[in-house]
């Protein structure tokens, strides 16, 4: 922790912002104390938020949480400390930009989501698991199962609604939905870290809405699965 804050102070000095070592150490100690005081509802809210948001934007979640930790906006549990590593931030930031633009192109977004279905769900489970880490193995397993389930639900909802929107010939509805998802990820992480109880209520509402959308728009999900299967197999699409 001391090394991290020393590096931040050095970086601030290069920008012309001079912070003495005592102030930096005080901020670091406060962050460590805040981490130690995270109660069970706060940790569960964070785990659920990471799982749910990963189903929409995995790389954005990794980059956002990592930067929040580096800047001291949110003390990260030890199991998530690796998200602050410069290499993790660099890779997640690059992939965030790729995903941002891929998600704005009709049908390319569905193909991207289909490929990342094998990445987002286990990653969402792993991030949720990391909230508790090895210090509380029982709750870590519970959080991992919760995060994976929420990530799968969010991903299925995203793919289903995108399949429905992609049937429209104009791209504007696709863009609007994509930007909405960008904002939703930020809002979910912020709400979970600032108001865990309110996030719990919001999460219940989002899950109920997701289930309803999956029931109503299931035929569109089947359509996108058929189209993607035809694309990857090289056979003509089925109408």
Q: Structural domain boundaries of the chain?
A: 38-215
Give the rounded distance of the alpha carbon of 125 from its chain centre.
Answer: 11
CA distance 113 to 53: 14
Q: What pLDDT, in 10s, does the model give residues 154-212?
A: 998 888 888 777 777 666 777 888 888 889 999 999 999 889 989 999 999 999 999 88
**In Å, how far from its chain's centre is CA 67?**
13
Share of the chain above pLDDT 70, in %: 73
**Residue 138 token pair:** 């029982």
Question: For position 193, what pLDDT does the model report?
Answer: 86
The answer for residues whose C-beta is within 8 angstroms of residue 41's C-beta and 6 or more apart is 196, 197, 200
pLDDT in tens, 106-155: 778 878 888 888 899 999 999 999 998 767 888 899 999 999 999 999 99
CA distance 216 to 214: 6
Residue 238 pLDDT greater than 60, yes or no:
no
Give residue-wise pLDDT tens across range 29-69.
Answer: 544 444 444 677 888 999 999 999 999 999 999 999 999 88
Mean pLDDT to the nearest integer, 221-228: 64
Residue 239's pLDDT band, with cuts at 50, 70 and 90, is very low
144 within 8 A of 125, measured Cβ to Cβ: yes
pLDDT tens-digit profile of 89-106? 999 999 999 998 888 887
Single out the residue of 93, 91, 72 nearest to residue 8, CA to CA. 72
Are the beta carbons of 223 and 106 closer than 8 angstroms?
A: no
Quickly list H helices, the chain: 2-14, 21-36, 40-70, 86-102, 108-132, 137-165, 172-194, 196-216, 218-233
pLDDT at 1 exceeding the cut of 50: no
3-class DSSP state for residue 107?
Answer: coil
pLDDT at 123: 93
Query: CA–CA separation, 213 vs 157, rounded Å?
Result: 7
């Amino acid at each position: 922790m001391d090394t991290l804050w020393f590096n931040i102070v050095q970086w601030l000095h290069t920008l012309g912002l001079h912070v003495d070592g005592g102030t930096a150490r005080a901020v670091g100690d406060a962050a460590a104390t805040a981490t130690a005081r995270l109660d069970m509802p706060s940790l569960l809210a964070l785990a659920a938020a990471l799982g749910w948001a990963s189903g929409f934007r995995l790389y954005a979640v990794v980059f956002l949480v990592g930067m929040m930790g580096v800047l001291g906006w949110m003390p990260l549990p030890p199991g998530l400390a690796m998200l602050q590593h410069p290499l993790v931030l660099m890779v997640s930031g690059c992939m965030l930009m790729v995903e941002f633009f891929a998600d704005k192109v009709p049908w390319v977004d569905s193909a991207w989501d289909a490929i990342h279905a094998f990445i987002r769900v286990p990653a969402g489970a792993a991030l949720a698991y990391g909230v508790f880490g090895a210090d509380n193995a029982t709750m870590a397993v519970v959080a991992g199962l919760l995060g994976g389930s929420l990530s799968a639900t969010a991903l299925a909802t995203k793919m289903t609604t995108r399949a429905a929107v992609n049937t429209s010939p104009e791209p504007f509805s696709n863009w609007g939905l994509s930007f909405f998802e960008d904002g939703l990820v930020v809002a979910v992480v912020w709400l979970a870290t600032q108001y865990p109880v309110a996030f719990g209520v919001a999460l219940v509402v989002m899950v109920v809405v997701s289930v309803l959308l999956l029931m109503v728009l299931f035929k569109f999900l089947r359509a996108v699965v058929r189209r993607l299967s035809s694309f990857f197999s090289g056979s003509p699409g089925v109408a």
